[in-house]
Amino acid sequence: MTAVTDRSSKAQAAVPQVDTAYLGEKLLGRWKDLRLIARGFAQDPRIIRDPLLPMEEHRERVLEQLKILATEAQVLRAFPERLGGKDDSGGGIAGFEELILADPSLQIKAGVQWGLFCAAIHHLGTPEQQDRLLGQAMRLEVPGAFAMTEIGHGSDVASVATTATYDETTKDFVLNTPFRAAWKDYLGNAAKHGQAAVVFAQLITKGVNHGVHAFYVPIRETNKDGSAGKLLPGIQSEDDGLKGGLNGIDNGRLAFDNIRVPRINLLARYGEVSEEGVYSSPIESPGRRFFTMLGSLVQGRVSLDGAAGVASKIALKTAITYSNQRRQFNGASDTEETVIMDYQTHQRRLLPLLAEVYAGHYAHDRLLDLFHAVFSEEGMDTPESREDLETLAATLKPTSTWRALHALQTAREACGGAGFMAENRLVQLRQDLDIYVTFEGDNTVLLQLVGKRLLTDYAKQFKGITGMNMARFVVDRAADTVMYKTPLNRAVQSIADTGMKRRSAMELREEETQRELLTERVETMVEELAAALRPASKMSQAEGAELFNEHQQELIEAAKAHADLVQWEAFTKAIKEIDDPGTHSVLVALRDLYALTRIEANLAWYLINGRLSSQRAETVTSYINRLLRKLRPHAQDLIDAFGIEGPLVRATIETGVEATRQDEARDYYRKQRASGNAPVSEKALARNSKKKK
């Protein structure tokens, strides 16, 4: 058990207890060893961020750190064995996401190099292209940029304006940036360090545009020491300069003026052009081909989901530890101030977030399992499983990145002025994590993708809404399905009202009750949205687009409801694998808190749609308050179980310094009272005077 200074007497006596060592082993999961290796590097002085470095020095330090990782860490696991990897896609991601503990700039720059630049060559290139191009990139001999995003088309990749036109006379492509809005922008490694880039452009041959394809393009000379030299002729670059965060990354812009790209540098797994200029692809449909290519690069979203979860754990580790030591106000005693974690308002701030972080952690484990299966397990790379993976990643990445910002801000406020100090890291992390919600897919756009998938599957009688194929290789199908084929036209009040709060509270604790309430919200929202959009099939394109636009908010809300359900199911499944009785009991209560706070956040919907009566709505909030009291003694153990300790947190107020200060203050006043020399307060004199009267 983790001892915490000054926990309340109720907390000390609370039963059951969490076995933090046992739970910690469970939380490390399938890739435990790789996570621990990454955490070891995150404590290495060579890797840890120096917060005092100016931008230019920070950039150079991060590049040197990448070189250390390339030679000493396990960063190449996802790549083919013949090139020095391990064909371990899930393990590669598990290690990457832990690097945020050292420095988010390091985690993202590593992601740019190995998770985007190298991954594009790996997943979009042929075996010959992998053998020719990938090795140097993996070893960081060729730092690279991932040139997809354009100033004028952020998340709309299909509409990028950069062109690659095949020239039959010279047998190569001519790469061009036709206007300013077509400049590639926000690209890591583009401003200084990148020597090549994977450039996404419209492939044109024989006057036909075959859509967006990827090209390997050298962009800078290589100096004798291996560093990046001058830009090659026809390449333009600009530095994005100082950003709101992640200033250890040299983000920049690229433009191309009649750059000649050899035909063999078209990454040709999904589309190639013959010497005669004839285009061919193993995927006939242009739409499916495009989404298959982009789906191959989904690991960026998977990694961000995991990294955002780690950042949330840092935030809560800092805030909960501090709140268990900090004392303020003495309403409960004339001599002892109250530990601020004992205040209900503080519990309301932090404990529901702790429940969300657990739910997100378990959901990420499921996502990582699916990712690994698609890219590293024989027979699992199918169009259906890729679609399931893309949908699940698009569901969880927005949820976890928004949560990280909320957790960091809430933790900052919960720590008062101390949380604003740079030494406690929360403000710096908040700055660095800000961009996570809009890169690798803007969160709102990703949720639109999820909503469209829900509508598609509704039309197919709820076929595999959240990745039913995942159940074949992760867990038993019947136990794992997230959407249930329940009737949509059910009774208005699914749980009979008895008029007894005790009875209703007990029902809200039941797993099936929570599942029904969360599931029914998704089903009903999707059904209503489908009905509202049905007339679009008989409208003109413009009228159909306008109708869809009028219902975009409902689409987003349905996707968010779906995310709540996915995480609840992942949490519920994980609990079934916990054998220790005390730990199991506490996790059930934490899962209940997650479910009930999600229902409480949407009480208006449940009331309007008749899924809960007003009495039941009142019961939801009162039961949440009961859960807060029940979980409060276990808060420290639950956050400690993640194993993110002092050298990984690097917040002064998490080290026990606050407990030392509080002990010193209490000892001072205790001795003063014992001496008999303590001054008498004016309030005490007034009370004594009233008693005498």
Cα 234 to chain centroid distance, Å, stands at 38
Taken in order of first residue, the domains within the chain and their CATH numbers are: 144-295 (2.40.110.10)
Per-residue pLDDT band for 679 (boundaries 50, 70, 90) equals confident
Preceding omega of 16 cis (within 30 degrees of 0): yes
Q: What local confidence, expressed as pLDDT, does residue 504 receive?
A: 58
216-241 pLDDT, tens digit per residue, is: 999 999 999 999 999 999 999 999 99
d(CA 271, CA 282): 7
264-323 pLDDT, tens digit per residue, is: 999 999 999 999 999 999 999 999 999 889 888 899 999 999 999 999 999 999 999 999
pLDDT mean over 194-215? 98
Residue 161 near residue 181 (C-beta atoms within 8 A):
yes
Instruction: Kindly list the distances between the CA atom of residue 597 and the CA atoms of 422, 538, 591, in Å, as whole numbers in the listed order.
Output: 32, 41, 10
pLDDT mean over 80-100? 94
Which of 113, 45, 1 has the alpha carbon at shortest distance from 640?
Answer: 1
Note the maximum CA span of the chain. 110
Q: Collapsing DSSP states into helix, strand and coil, what is residue 95?
A: helix
Q: What local confidence, expressed as pLDDT, does residue 191 receive?
A: 97
Length of the chain: 693
pLDDT mean over 347-360? 98
Other C-beta atoms closer than 10 Å to the C-beta of 253 total: 22
| The amino acid at 500 | M
pLDDT mean over 73-97? 93
Question: Which secondary structure element, helix H or strand E, spans residue 618, and what is its range?
Answer: helix 614-631
> Is the pLDDT confidence value at 12 over 50?
no
Other C-beta atoms closer than 10 Å to the C-beta of 603 total: 17
Per-residue pLDDT band for 188 (boundaries 50, 70, 90) equals very high
> Is the pLDDT confidence value at 43 over 80?
yes
Per-residue pLDDT band for 486 (boundaries 50, 70, 90) equals very low
Q: What local confidence, expressed as pLDDT, does residue 2 receive?
A: 44
> Is the pLDDT confidence value at 348 over 60?
yes
Distance between first and last Cα of the chain: 52
> Is the pLDDT confidence value at 644 over 80?
yes
Question: Which secondary structure element, helix H or strand E, spans residue 660, and what is its range?
Answer: helix 657-675
DSSP sequence for 452-480: HHHHHHHHTTSTTTT-GGGGGTSS-HHHH
Report the chain's mean pLDDT, rounded to a whole number.
89
Name the residue with tokens 């008989």: 538
Instruction: Please count the CA atoms within 13 angstroms of the CA of 52 that sit on its side-chain side.
Output: 1
Cα 502 to chain centroid distance, Å, stands at 37
Angle made by CA atoms 238, 239, 240, in degrees to the nearest 5: 115
Compare 113 and 1 and report the one with higher pLDDT: 113
Q: What local confidence, expressed as pLDDT, does residue 328 receive?
A: 87
Angle made by CA atoms 285, 290, 295, in degrees to the nearest 5: 125
Q: What local confidence, expressed as pLDDT, does residue 639 receive?
A: 98
367-410 pLDDT, tens digit per residue, is: 999 999 999 998 888 888 999 999 999 999 999 999 999 999 99
Which of 324, 304, 314, 455 has the alpha carbon at shortest distance from 394?
Answer: 304
Q: What local confidence, expressed as pLDDT, does residue 665 receive?
A: 87
Per-residue pLDDT band for 164 (boundaries 50, 70, 90) equals very high
Residue 220 near residue 230 (C-beta atoms within 8 A):
yes
Preceding omega of 286 cis (within 30 degrees of 0): no
Q: What local confidence, expressed as pLDDT, does residue 693 receive?
A: 62
Question: Which secondary structure element, helix H or strand E, spans residue 265, and what is its range?
Answer: none
587-627 pLDDT, tens digit per residue, is: 999 999 999 999 999 999 999 998 888 888 888 999 999 99
423-475 pLDDT, tens digit per residue, is: 999 999 999 999 999 988 899 999 999 999 999 888 775 444 333 333 332 33
d(CA 665, CA 272): 73
Backbone angles phi, psi at 44, to 5 degrees: -70, 125
Q: Collapsing DSSP states into helix, strand and coil, what is residue 363?
A: helix
Backbone angles phi, psi at 486, to 5 degrees: -95, 155
Q: What local confidence, expressed as pLDDT, does residue 685 receive?
A: 79
DSSP state of 232: P
Spatial neighbors of 233 by CB under 8 A, at least 6 apart, are: none
Q: What local confidence, expressed as pLDDT, does residue 327 receive?
A: 87
536-570 pLDDT, tens digit per residue, is: 888 998 998 899 899 999 999 999 999 999 999 99
Q: Collapsing DSSP states into helix, strand and coil, what is residue 607?
A: helix
> Is the pLDDT confidence value at 7 over 50?
no
d(CA 146, CA 152): 17
Per-residue pLDDT band for 505 (boundaries 50, 70, 90) equals low
Q: Collapsing DSSP states into helix, strand and coil, what is residue 127?
A: helix
Angle made by CA atoms 400, 406, 411, in degrees to the nearest 5: 120
Q: Collapsing DSSP states into helix, strand and coil, what is residue 201?
A: strand
DSSP state of 150: B
Q: What local confidence, expressed as pLDDT, does residue 466 receive?
A: 39
